[in-house]
Structures are given as C-alpha cells and as structure tokens.
Amino acid sequence: MVSKVLPLLRVAGRKMIMRAAMTAILSRALPVKTSVRRKAILLAGALSAGFASPAGAADILRGSYVTSPQYYQWDGFYAGGQAGYTNIDVKFGNATQPLTDYILRNSTIQDNVSGWTTLPNGSTNGASYGGFIGYNWQWDDVVVGVEANYSHMSLSKSASDSLGRSFIDNAGALPGYNYNYSVLVSGSSTVKLTDLATFRARAGWAVGSLLPYAFLGFAVARADVTTTASVSGNLNAVCDGSVTPCTNFGGPLNLTGPQSVSRKGVFTYGGSIGLGFDWALSQNLFVRGEWELVQLQDIEGIDLRINTARAAVGVKF
C-alpha cells in the first residue's frame, strides 16, 4: 500500500511546486488587470499538470519490480573430472580358507579347521581421482539420468596372524583311542585396489541453480591380491583302557607345506548407492559434491566396502 501511495505524493508535490512558481512569475508580469491575472493562474495550473512526469504514473501502473528466478536447464550430455578421499574397510576373515582347505584336503580334520578366521579386519584410506560422463532428462523440476563414473586409486591393506586350537576328532581313530589334535594355522594377505567404476541411475530435484540427487548403480573394481597360509600340528592318541595292549602314541601331522596365491588385476562386482548435488555456475559449467558407498563381492575370500567423498567440476554440452 505504501509503495503505491508514495508515487502519488511525489506527483502531487511536483504539481504544487510548478503551479506556485508559474503563478508568481505571471503575477509579476501581469500586475494590472485582475481578470488577466486569474486567467494566467489557471493557465499555470494546466501547464503544471501537463508537465507532470509520466514516469510517476507509470510507476503506479507497473507496481513493484520483482526479479524472476534464474532457470537452469539440466537436460543433455555432460562430462567432468573429479578428485576424492576414499576409505576401504577390509575383512580378511576368509582369505586363508581356500589355502588351508588345500593343505588339509582329504584329511579327517579338514572340516574342523576350514572355518577358522585367522586374519584380523582393517581399513585403509587415501586419495582417488577420475572422471564421469552422463546424460540427463528434465521435466519441469524433475531430473533423471544415467552416468558412468570412474576413479583410480592405489590403496592397499595387509594383515597377518596365527590361530592355534586343540580338539578331539575320533573320525578314523583306532578302536579304544581318542585322537587329540593341536593345530596352528598361520597366514598373511595383502589386497591393493586400483580401479573402481560405477554405472548409475540418477534422480534429482532442481532448485534454481542447485540439483540435489540420489543414485543407485552397478560397480566393478580391479585389485591385486596375495595370500599365504601354512598349517602345522600334532596328534596325541590316548588309549582309553578298553583294548590290550594300551599304548599311547602320537607325533607331528604329515601335512602339505605352506601354500600361496598371487593374482594381479582381479575383477570383482557389486553395487553402489550415494547422494550428492550439482551446482550450476553458468548454463554450461557446474561443480559437484557427493558421497558414494560401494559393496563388492569378496576377492579371494576378502570382503571390501568402499566409502568415497568427492568434489568435481563438470561441463554440460
């Protein structure tokens, strides 16, 4: 209301000032006849009305000026480069199992030892970098798209440990004897992740120049793996007194020597989810921030979970 009244007051003020000025001029110029002076005053009023600024009236008709929000088109092809910080949670629990199974193959104690978790879990972190390319479709504020995303890194983690246990296993034991085993499993393993690619479906909601989004995708990774394992132990056969003669016996187990496996460029697959935002700096340039979680299938018995925070710069074509 005030914004409309103020222009009216400005116009009225101009009219009054111009009318007073012209009246004073004409009064001095025509001092003799009152009728002529009266006509001059009426003429001054008409002229002041005619000279009133049309801009004031235009302001009243137009109203307050409101800036329209900037609208950014997200549809089309885009590509960019990125850098990130990656953390990998590594579970080595089953890394030595294939090797211990081989060492104990066809033995009566294989099932007892096979499931032992020898190596501890751990994590590693560091820098990653790469690029992305994708395509968006936009309907009003809704934006959906597909994207291929690649990151290179050189992150490795190692673990080594031993586990020893004693147990009774009478499978294959002589009548009247209990077979007591003491077994020690030792192992070590190293995994190095070098490449990670995800193929995503994205969905977002445009808010001006900002595009928050979520994505779900398929992941493929490449890694180098090296694992070694050894098994040693003793058998102590104890007579229970039900047979004659009753003599205890025992000695070292006759087992295959240490085993190892080393594989370069092993591919594994999994899934990815994440959240992020694109922020348009112009119609063709944007910056990005995002978080991604990738869960991979185990590589030679090693389980990998990858968390990455990224910053990126992209160009829309």
Supply the CATH number for residue 298's domain: 2.40.160.20
Query: 250 in a domain, yes or no?
Result: no
Query: 30 in a domain, yes or no?
Result: yes
The better pLDDT of the pair 167, 44 is held by 167
Instruction: Examine the pLDDT at 226 and tell me if it is beyond 90.
Output: yes
| Residue 58 shares a structural domain with residue 96 | no
Confidence class for position 43, pLDDT limits 50, 70, 90: very low
Q: What are phi and psi of 44, to 5 degrees?
A: -65, -40
What pTM was computed for the model? 0.74
Amino acid at the residue 149: N
Confidence class for position 24, pLDDT limits 50, 70, 90: low
How far is the CA of 2 from the CAs of 6, 63, 140, 186, 316, in angstroms? 6, 11, 36, 86, 45
Question: What average pLDDT does the segment 251-260 reach?
Answer: 92
Dist CA 189 CA 36 (whole Å): 115
pLDDT tens string 145-189: 999 999 999 999 999 999 999 999 998 899 999 999 999 999 999
Q: Computed from CA positions of residues 132, 136, 142, 144, in that sequence, does the dihedral angle turn out positive or negative? A: negative
**Which range (57-71, 75-89, 192-206, 278-292) has the least confidence?**
57-71
| Residue 80 shares a structural domain with residue 58 | no
Question: What average pLDDT does the segment 227-232 reach?
Answer: 96
| Residue 55 shares a structural domain with residue 80 | no
Dist CA 234 CA 114 (whole Å): 17
Dist CA 234 CA 180 (whole Å): 8
| Residue 53 shares a structural domain with residue 80 | no
Do residues 232 and 181 touch, judged by C-beta distance below 8 A?
no
| Residue 83 shares a structural domain with residue 189 | yes
Confidence class for position 62, pLDDT limits 50, 70, 90: low
Instruction: Please give the residue range of the domain that contains residue 28.
Output: 2-62
Question: What average pLDDT does the segment 68-89 reach?
Answer: 90
Residues belonging to the chain: 317
For position 7, what pLDDT does the model report? 52
For position 31, what pLDDT does the model report? 47
Query: 241 in a domain, yes or no?
Result: no
| Residue 17 shares a structural domain with residue 113 | no
Question: What average pLDDT does the segment 39-53 reach?
Answer: 49
Do residues 278 and 287 touch, judged by C-beta distance below 8 A?
yes
If you search the block for the tokens 């006509």, which residue do you land on? 39
| Residue 30 shares a structural domain with residue 122 | no
Peptide bond into 31 cis (omega under 30): no
3-state SS class at 53: coil
Angle at CA of residue 195, ends 193 and 196, nearest 5°: 105
| Residue 156 shares a structural domain with residue 226 | yes
